[in-house]
Amino acid sequence: MDHYEIRGGTPLSGRVEIHGAKNSVLPMLAATLLNHGVSVLHNCPNLSDVDASLAILRHLGCRVEREEDRVTVDAASVTRWDIPDHLMREMRSSVIFLGAILARTGQADVSMPGGCELGPRPIDLHLAALERLGAEVEQQGGRLLCTRGDRLTGAEIDLSLPSVGATENAMLAAVGAFGCTVIRNAAREPEIVDLARFLRSMGAQVRGEGSSTVIVEGKTPLHDAEYRVMGDRIVAATYLSAVAAAGGEAELTGADPSQFSSVLALLRQGGAEIRCRPQSVHIRCVQKPLCGVGCIRTAPYPGFPTDAQPVLMAALCRSQGTTVFVETMFENRYRHVDELCRMGANIRAEGRVAVVTGVERLRGAPVQAHDLRGGGALCVAALGAEGITTVTGLNHIRRGYASLVEDLSALGAEIREVNA
Ligand code: UD1
């Protein structure tokens, strides 16, 4: 089985450029459908979720080219509106195509995205938002069939939760709807801001992104666009956690530290020295290990991101003291806990709460990633552990880390990928 082999215990040192943000580029790739022309995305990370999105675009009739980190999508001749089951299953967030396909073709036929490794992931808010814009949604034999009648019409959409995906779906459909759409209680995540900027670069009128009210004036003429995807704040949080776990210092460039200030605040509280500039962050961990940091609750942006919970937990396994995590976003997001415990961590998890009591040392062990960021966490823990850790489940990790081995190696880590 393919795995990473990581020998821990070496302090990290060096500089790494953070790749483009997965959660920005996926809705942007869906958004390319809105324009009957060419979109070029730069800084597009080489991830399996991106491959799945490109496969969906090709299936729909787009011409897609990829050269290193530049992806070109020509959506002039979209001929289909369905996403086959196997592509839906590749990536839960393929549901983000729904709003864009509907806006472009007037109908959409996708399979229901099932629950995934983080627990049930309902899409009721996505569907309610599309219905507000005039879509009719029908479920038939595991498929979701959407039609729009004559046209989509702008409307007021009040989300009961600031769902990232529902906000994105509503924005994409609203670009193709006649009139003005106001999305209230919208998600405020930086990826929403990035998506809005991309939409504006193709001529859409979007404003208010980053606040809880996003306004879209639909049906403005769209044109070809070229856009650079922002750096991935969760990858940055992972590498910061790696330095915190292994000790040492590193400079991360290409991501905006103001987008992960809640993570930086906790690392500082734990004893890391952190200096920020507009597109770079420097971390130094001489006081090794970190101290426990009290209580960490995951929350919508600008709160502490659920996606950074596993990696920070891994960094705190060898802390002095105790940290309590409360996972408020997803039901089943502690699957890394048992694996960390195999390495000697002392973590008790029950329901949405996990209590991490720092131990003096972790020891390398065979561990398995069950989800993407949980996989990142195992690599972080391994870097601070004595001896060799083997991490399997790389299919999860490849969904969101484009160059984990190269980047950590550049920081001096002993990590290699073994392909069996
Ligand atoms: C996105 C991110 C994911 C991140 C999450 C929260 C992408 C591709 N993924 O996922 O990495 O962990 O935001 O920051 O951008 N909910 C409902 N009904 C819905 C939709 C969501 O009840 O229709 C609930 C979810 O179960 C969850 C909460 O709302 O408890 C937040 O989910 P949401 O913001 O929608 O996450 P995603 O967009 O799926």
Confidence label for 42 from pLDDT (cuts 50, 70 and 90) = very high
**CA-proximal residue: ligand 1, atom 20 (nearest):** 123
What is the widest separation between alpha-carbon atoms in the chain? 65
Nearest-atom number in ligand 1 for the CA of 301 is 14
Q: Which of 161, 191, 309, 311 to mutate to test the pocket of ligand 1 (most atoms within 8 A of CB)?
A: 161
b or e along 195-233 (b: 16 or more beta carbons within 10 Å of the residue's beta carbon)? bbbbbbbbebebebbbeeebbbbbbeebeebebbbbbbb
As a whole number, the mean pLDDT across the chain is 96
390 C-alpha to center of ligand 1: Å?
30
- Nearest atom of ligand 1 to the alpha carbon of 300: 14
Give the per-residue pLDDT at 104.
97
**Among 116, 125, 164, which is best to mutate for testing ligand 1, by the most ligand atoms less than 8 A from CB?**
164
pLDDT at 150: 86
User: For the packed helices 164-175 and 22-31, what is the interaxial angle rounded to 10 degrees?
Assistant: 30
Q: Which residues form ligand 1's pocket by a CB distance below 6 Å?
A: 23, 26, 93, 121-126, 161, 163-166, 187, 191, 306-307, 329-330
CA of 196 to the centre of ligand 1 (A): 18
What is the H or E stretch that residue 111 is in? strand 107-111
Q: What is the pLDDT of residue 196?
A: 98
pTM of this structure: 0.98
Atom of ligand 1 nearest to the CA of 191: 15
Closest CA to 111 of 89, 137, 127, 130: 89
* DSSP reduced 3-state for 304: strand
**Separation of 330 CA from ligand 1 center, angstroms?**
8
**pLDDT of amino acid 111:** 87
CB contact set of 178 (below 8 Å; sequence gap of 6+): 151, 152, 153, 154, 218, 219
Q: What is the pLDDT of residue 334?
A: 96
Per-residue pLDDT tens over the stretch 336-375: 999 999 999 999 999 999 999 999 999 999 999 999 999 9
Q: Provide the 8-state DSSP code for 386.
A: B
Is 116 a catalytic site residue?
yes
Q: Where are the beta strands (DSSP E) in 316-374?
A: 322-326, 346-350, 353-357, 366-368
290 versus 117: the higher-pLDDT residue is 290
Residue 130 pLDDT class (50, 70, 90 cuts): very high
For ligand 1, mutation pick of 163, 263, 334, 372 (most atoms within 8 Å of CB): 163
**Tokens found for residue 135:** 């879509």
Nearest residue CA, atom 17 of ligand 1?
A: 122
